[in-house]
Amino acid sequence: MCPAVAPQRSILWFRKGLRLHDNPSLLAAIKGATHLYPVFVLDPWFLKPDVVGVNRLNFLLESLTDLRSSLQARGSNLLVLRGNPQDVLPRVWKDWNITRLCFEADTEDYAEERDTKITAAAQEAGIEVISCVSHTLYDTSDVVAKNGGKAPLTYKGFEKAITALGPPPAPVEDPPAKLPPLAADSKGTDSETTSVPSLRELGYPDEASTDIKGGETEALARLAEQLSDKGWVAAFEKPKGDPTAFIKPATTVLSPHLKFGCLSPRLFYEALQRVYKEKKEHSKPPVSLLGQLLWREFYYVAAAHTPNYHRMEGNPICKQIPWDNNAEFYRAWEESRTGYPWIDAIMAQLRRTGWMHHLARHCVACFLTRGDLYVSWEKGRDTFDRLLIDGDPSLNSGNWMWLSASSFFYQYFRVYSPITYGKKYDPEGKYVKHFLPILKDYPPKYIWEPWKAPKEVQEQAGCIIGKDYPAPIVDHAEVSKR
């Protein structure tokens, strides 16, 4: 016979994982619950343009709006609370007589520190805490356990560990059409104070400058659309993509949705397997689309199990390099003033759209660090973290260590050319002209190295090098030898 279970009043705390599909924490929260309080806590500390760029914040707000609509359609709501979660949550769990707190596990350093404190406080208040793994394919600890207790440093090692683990868990079932309600009389749940704020209310410009839209609805539509071309999915090989394609990008652009959890990696995994089953001849990891999802996992495992992962100092997997950290070089790189159109156009695309192709990221990261400017990867990582919509700390720091030859990758003599790399994909320079309109009238012959154009050509193009557009801040041929 079953013991009587006391009715539960649950908080479902959203952070990443901004979705209803494949959401085990949501299912845990509604089990035996009379009341469900879905909350998101906006911490004003992060809401500054020098910490979170407008495109990134816009994506978050759109995702919250979509999540709120989906919850409302199921008789629930999303309460957007303001403040530090460590202050806000204890206040509301008291006000609402909460018995259970559920959230998705987050392995990032800042999240673990925060969640440890909140879990302790909740348990002290007699609240049951349930945290589920659903942001990654696997529990990162399981991968580490299969690799002899440490994070794999090579793709091969990672592949071996996950092969031993078997396929990741399937997505959990969708939530019911009717969710438990919020109690009608609960303090602090009126829609005046719990609505999704606008960019303007948060002190940002009225509009984002990107076309990339946030939200679970958008994520699922994009997934369906991208995977509908099965031939393309089966043939996908990342290194063969064109980083200068900007009207129709060469990749899925699902990364922002994976970052915020509008799309479950397990759902993506399952959808890919369905295509591969149908298309017997298909590309394989590490270059395939599945491979891209596995690289994400690789970096999550490394980040979760490496001390000081986000810094050079004290980071056992990071090569210690005496970077120059020339502040003017760093600013020029960030503000598209290096004088190399390929580099400057990529950074302009980043600022405007919050996204660029993976290989374009390689080029600017190599240029800032080991290739040309010799500025620390931590600086570039910070810029990406602020401006990239899909900026995910585990992946971001990991890729910067990779590109700066600080970890995972060490063939430092493989340097991307800031002139020929872009040219081979886009001899006409359409990409450069689009993102750097000052150069739009340069003939293709000089678009990748405009400083070589004769004075008459510069005058005719209406852009004098050294005056309207900078001369190269370093001589690539010279500095890349270092």
Partner DNA sequence: GTGACGTTGTCGCT
Partner DNA sequence: AGCGACAACGTCAC
Which x/- pattern, by CB under 7 A, does the window 228-267 give for DNA? ----------xx----------------------------
Report which secondary-structure segment, H or E, holds 271. Answer: helix 265-278
Say if residue 254 carries a ligand binding annotation: yes
Cα 460 to its chain centre, rounded Å, is 42
Question: DSSP string spanning 136-188?
Answer: SSS-HHHHHHHTTTS--SSHHHHHHHHHHH-SPPPPPPPPPSSPPPPPTT-TT
**Smallest separation (angstroms) from DNA to the CB of 217:** 28
- Please say which residue, 214 or 393, places its beta carbon nearer to DNA: 393
Is 415 near DNA (CB under 7 A)? yes
Q: Which of 13, 246, 295, 469 binds DNA (CB under 7 A)?
A: 295
| Residue-by-residue DSSP string for 427-463 | TT-HHHHHH-GGGTTS-HHHHT-GGGS-HHHHHHTT-
Say if CB 466 and CB 482 are below 8 A apart: no
Interaction of residue 412 with DNA, rule CB under 7 A: yes
The answer to whether the annotation marks 299 as part of a ligand binding site is: yes
Only one of the segments 6-14, 36-44, 74-82, 414-422 lies at the binding site for DNA (rule: CB under 7 A); that segment is: 414-422
Question: How many residues are there in the chain?
Answer: 482
Q: Using CB atoms within 10 A of its CB, is residue 184 exposed (0-12), middle (13-18) or buried (19+)? A: exposed
Query: Can you tell me which residue has the tokens 């405007």?
Result: 352
Supply the minimum distance, in Å, between the C-beta of residue 363 and DNA.
7
Structure tokens at 432: 């450069």
Q: Kindly indicate which of the ranges 63-71, 132-140, 176-184, 418-426 contains the residues binding DNA, using the contact rule CB under 7 A.
A: 418-426
272 is in an annotated binding site: no
Instruction: Give Cα separations from 12 to 94, 132, 301, 325 (angstroms).
Output: 15, 12, 25, 43
Which of 189, 181, 190 is CA-nearest to residue 34?
181
* Nearest one of 127, 134, 158 to 302, comparing CA atoms: 158
Q: Is 36 annotated as a binding residue?
A: no
Task: Kindly indicate which of the ranges 85-93, 209-217, 372-380, 417-425 contains the residues binding DNA, using the contact rule CB under 7 A.
Answer: 417-425
- Residue 152 or 380 with smaller CB distance to DNA: 152
Minimum CB distance to DNA, residue 388 (Å):
15
| Pair type for strands 100-104 and 79-82 | unpaired
Give the interface size with DNA as a residue count (CB under 7 A): 34
Give the count of beta carbons closer than 10 Å to the beta carbon of residue 371. 27
Residue 372 near residue 476, CB atoms below 8 Å: yes
Least distance to DNA, CB of residue 113, Å:
27
Question: Which residues from 139-158 bind DNA, rule CB under 7 A?
Answer: 152-157
Is 107 labelled as part of a ligand binding site?
no
Annotated ligand binding at 392? The verdict is: yes
Cβ proximity to DNA: between 310 and 362 the closer is: 362
CB atoms within 10 A of CB 324: 11
425 part of the interface to DNA, by CB under 7 A: no
Pick the closer one to DNA by CB: 8 or 406.
Answer: 406
Query: Would you count residue 410 as binding DNA (CB under 7 A)?
Result: yes
| Binding residue (CB under 7 A) for DNA from 193, 325, 420, 460 | 420
Rounded to whole angstroms, how far apart are CA atoms 40 and 15? Answer: 6
By beta-carbon proximity to DNA, the closer residue of 93 and 421 is 421
* 160 interacts with DNA by CB under 7 A: yes
SS3 120: helix
Q: Which candidate, 358, 338, 229, places its Cα nearest to that of 291?
A: 358
Cα 236 from Cα 156, distance rounded (Å): 20
Among 130, 181, 195, 402, binds DNA (CB under 7 A): 402
Residues 52-91 that bind DNA (CB under 7 A): none
To DNA, the closest distance from the beta carbon of 357 in angstroms equals: 10
| Residue 19 or 305 with smaller CB distance to DNA | 305
Binding residues: 251-255, 292-299, 390-392
Residue ranges in contact with DNA by CB under 7 A: 152-157, 160, 238-239, 286-287, 291-292, 295, 317, 319, 358-359, 362, 402, 408-417, 419-421, 424
Name the binding residues for FAD: 251-255, 292-299, 390-392
